[in-house]
Chain A
Amino acid sequence: MGLLHKLLAGRQARVRVALTPSPDTPATATTHTSPEGSPLLTQRQYLADVPYVLPKDPLEDQRLNYQHHALYRTLSNHYLAPLSPESTRTILDVGTGTGIWAFEMQALFPHALVVGVDVSLQSLPQPVPPTCVFVRANVLEGLPFPDGQFTYTHQRLLVAAIPAQAWPGVVRELVRVTRPGGWIELLELSDGIQPAGPATRRLLDWFTSISRQLGFEMAVLRQLGELLQQAGCVDVTSHDIPVPLGHWAGAAGQLLLTDVLHGLDALKDSYCARTNTPPAVVDQMLREAAKEWEQQQARYVFHAAYGRRPQP
C-alpha cells in the first residue's frame, strides 16, 4: 500500500478506498420493462448528486460487463495505446464501474499497480479482490492524485456521466495525473450506427436530441483526439471502430446488442418522462431498429484516441 499512500498524498480528504462494501445510496427507483417489451419486476436505481443518467444497479452492472466483452472481441485487446510491460507501472482507470477492465489489466500487467476510480464503488465485486485498488472520486471535481502519478491513464464510456462542456477540463485532468511520457487513452461510443435505416435514425435522433437537452452532446465524442491535443498531448492517434451489432455477427454482435438494448432501455423511462412520450412508442422504435440491425448487418461506431503527455 506504500505506493498507494504516495499516490494519494495530500488529497486524502476527498478519497474513499474500497475495502468494504460501499455505502453509496441509490437515489431514485422506477419501474422497468425489458427492451423486448416484457415487463420486469425490477426497480432501477440511480445515483444522486451526480449528472449520471444511467442506472447504478445489478442489471446495469451486467450490461457494463457485456459491453466490456463485446469491445474485447472487436479490439482483441483491452487497450490501444502502445504500452510496453516494462514502462507500464501505474495504471489508472477512470469510471471503473464493475472493475472488470481494471482486473483484466492487472492480469496483463502483473507488476503494475492498477487503480480504479468511480463516483460509486457499489458495482465492484464483493469482497473487492485485492489485486487492484479502488478509490471513490468524481473526475468532474478533480482526481485525488498529485500530478504525474500514472504511466497510463484510461477512461472509457463515460458519455452518460460527463456533460459536453466538461470534457475539455476532464481530459486536462487525465493528462495532469499522467506521468510525462505516459499515455492517456479515451474510448467512447457514438451516435452512429452504420448503416442506419429509417427506424434506426428515428431512434437515434430521439435519444440524442433529449441527451442534448440534458447537456450530453454526442458530437464532442467525435473529437477525442482533438481534446487530447488541446490538453497538450503529443503522438495522438484516433480510431473509429465499428463494432458489429446484432445476432448476425456471432458472440461479439450479440453482446453489443444486449448492451445497446439494455442501455437505451435504461435511459427510456427518464427520457419518456421528460418528453411525455409513451414508453410503448420507444419500445416500438427499439424493436424496429433492432430488426434493421439484423437485416442490414449494422455496426455501432466507437471512437477511440490515445496520446502521450509530453516530456518537459
Chain B
Amino acid sequence: MRPTDRDGDPADPSLGHGEGPRMTASGTRAHPSPGRDLLILTQEQVAALRTVLEGYRASAFRQLLPTTERNERLRQTQALLGWLHALAPPPGGECWLNLAPDELDGLRQVLQVVREQPTLRDRWRREFQLLAPLFGWSTSLP
C-alpha cells in the first residue's frame, strides 16, 4: 500500500503512474482480450461520455475540499478522457474501449456519482439517455 497524506493522496505523486496504459482503445493498438470489458460506442456516445466526464471534473474542482474518493475519481476521469479523445469513430460508425474490470468499475462509479446529483443529472439528461443502453440503465432516470 502506498503511503498517503491526510488528503488521501499518494505521498509521492509519481508512484504508481508510470506503468503505461492498461486501458486500450480502437484506432490505437489493441484488440479485445480475455478478462477485459469491451464498450462499443457510437460517435454520439463518445461525445456524450466526454461531455459528462468533462462536466464532472469541472464540478469536482468546485468541491470545498479534496477527498480520497474524489481524487481517485478525478484520476480515472483524466485517463478516460485521454482515451475518449483518441477515439475517432467514422460518421455513423462505432469504436470501442477495452477496459480492465477496475477501469470499467471506475467509469461506472464516476457516472453513478453524477447521476445521483440532481443538478448534474438534469444538465446531462440527453447524454445519459444516449449512454443508457451502454450501461444497462433504465432510460427513465432516477
Q: Which residues of A contact B (CB under 8 A)?
A: 69, 72-80, 82-87, 103-104, 107-108, 110-111, 235, 237, 239-242, 244, 249-252, 297, 299
Q: Does B1 contact A (CB under 8 A)?
A: no
Cβ contact of B75, chosen from A77, A103, A110, cutoff 8 A? A77
Number of B interface residues in the complex (CB < 8 A) = 33
Between A and B, 29 residue pairs with Cβ closer than 8 Å are: A69-B13, A72-B9, A73-B7, A73-B66, A76-B72, A76-B78, A77-B74, A79-B78, A80-B78, A82-B78, A84-B21, A84-B28, A84-B85, A85-B21, A85-B82, A107-B14, A108-B14, A108-B17, A235-B85, A239-B58, A239-B61, A240-B61, A250-B6, A250-B65, A251-B5, A251-B6, A251-B7, A252-B7, A299-B64
Contacts of B9 in A (CB 8 A): 72-73, 76
Contacts of B13 in A (CB 8 A): 69, 72, 78, 104
Within 8 A of A (CB), among B59-85: 61-62, 64-66, 70-72, 74-75, 78, 81-85
Q: Does B2 contact A (CB under 8 A)?
A: no
A244 touches B28 (CB 8 A): no
CA distance A82 to B50 in the complex (A): 10
Q: Does B35 contact A (CB under 8 A)?
A: no
Q: Does B122 contact A (CB under 8 A)?
A: no
With A77-B74, A82-B81 already in contact, the answer to whether A107 and B17 are too (CB < 8 A) is: yes
Q: Does B40 contact A (CB under 8 A)?
A: no
Cβ contact of A77, chosen from B58, B78, B85, cutoff 8 A? B78
B64 touches A84 (CB 8 A): no
How close is B86's CB to chain A, nearest CB, in angstroms? 4
Chain B: which residue is nearest A78 at the CB level?
B13
Contacts of B54 in A (CB 8 A): 237
The number of A-B residue pairs with CB atoms under 8 Å apart is: 85
Given contacts A76-B74, A77-B78, A85-B82, 7 further A-B contacts (CB under 8 A): A72-B9, A86-B29, A86-B86, A107-B17, A239-B57, A241-B61, A251-B6
CA distance A106 to B136 in the complex (A): 39
Main SS at interface, chain A: mixed
Q: Does B20 contact A (CB under 8 A)?
A: yes
Cβ contact of B28, chosen from A74, A75, A86, cutoff 8 A? A86
Chain B: which residue is nearest A107 at the CB level?
B14
With A73-B9, A87-B86 already in contact, the answer to whether A249 and B58 are too (CB < 8 A) is: no
A84 touches B86 (CB 8 A): yes
How close is B45's CB to chain A, nearest CB, in angstroms? 16
CA distance A244 to B29 in the complex (A): 40
CA distance A79 to B74 in the complex (A): 11
Contacts of A73 in B (CB 8 A): 5, 7, 9, 66, 71
CA distance A87 to B18 in the complex (A): 15
With A72-B9, A76-B66, A108-B14 already in contact, the answer to whether A85 and B20 are too (CB < 8 A) is: yes
Contacts of A86 in B (CB 8 A): 21, 28-29, 86
Chain A: which residue is nearest B70 at the CB level?
A76
Cβ contact of B62, chosen from A82, A111, A242, cutoff 8 A? A242
CA distance A87 to B29 in the complex (A): 11
CA distance A72 to B25 in the complex (A): 27
B21 touches A75 (CB 8 A): no
A75 touches B74 (CB 8 A): yes
CA distance A302 to B62 in the complex (A): 11
Within 8 A of A (CB), among B12-60: 13-14, 17-18, 20-21, 25, 28-29, 54, 57-58
How close is A308's CB to chain B, nearest CB, in angstroms? 8
Chain A: which residue is nearest B82 at the CB level?
A84
Contacts of B20 in A (CB 8 A): 85, 110-111
Contacts of A79 in B (CB 8 A): 78
How close is A76's CB to chain B, nearest CB, in angstroms? 4
How close is A118's CB to chain B, nearest CB, in angstroms? 21
Contacts of B72 in A (CB 8 A): 76
Contacts of A80 in B (CB 8 A): 57, 78
A244 touches B74 (CB 8 A): no
With A72-B9, A76-B74, A77-B75 already in contact, the answer to whether A107 and B29 are too (CB < 8 A) is: no
